[in-house]
Amino acid sequence: MLNHKTLLITGGSGSFGRNFIAHILSTFPQVKEIRIFSRDELKHYEMQHYFDWGKHPSLRYILGDIRDFNLLADAMEGVDYVIHAAALKHVQMGENNPMAFIQTNIIGSENVIRCARQHKVKRVVALSTDKAAAAVSLYGATKLCADKLFTHQHNNNTIFSVVRYGNVMGTSGSVIPHFKHYTKKGFIPLTHPDMTRFNVTPQQSIDFILYALVYAQGGEIFVPKLSSFKVIDLASAIAPDVPTQIIGLRAGEKLHEEMITITDAPYTIENDHYYVIVPFYKDLTHYITHYKAKSVASDFYYSSDKNDSWLDLEDLRALLF
Active site residues: 131
Q: How far apart are CA 232 and CA 312, in angstroms?
A: 11
Helical ranges in the chain per DSSP H: 15-27, 41-50, 69-76, 91-96, 98-101, 108-118, 138-151, 175-183, 202-215, 231-238, 284-290, 313-320
Check: CB of residue 239 under 8 Å from CB of residue 179: yes
Q: How far apart are CA 86 and CA 281, in angstroms?
A: 28
Q: How far apart are CA 132 and CA 149, in angstroms?
A: 13
CA atoms within 13 A of residue 30's CA, in its CB half-sphere = 3
Task: Please name the residues in contact with 251: beta carbons below 8 A apart, sequence gap of 6 or more.
Answer: 91, 92, 95, 137
The letter for the amino acid at 135 is A
Cα radius of gyration rounded to whole Å, the chain: 20
CA atoms within 13 A of residue 182's CA, in its CB half-sphere = 17
Angle at the Cα of 156 from the Cα atoms of 150 and 161, rounded to 5 degrees: 25
CA atoms within 13 A of residue 102's CA, in its CB half-sphere = 6
Q: How far apart are CA 275 and CA 291, in angstroms?
A: 10
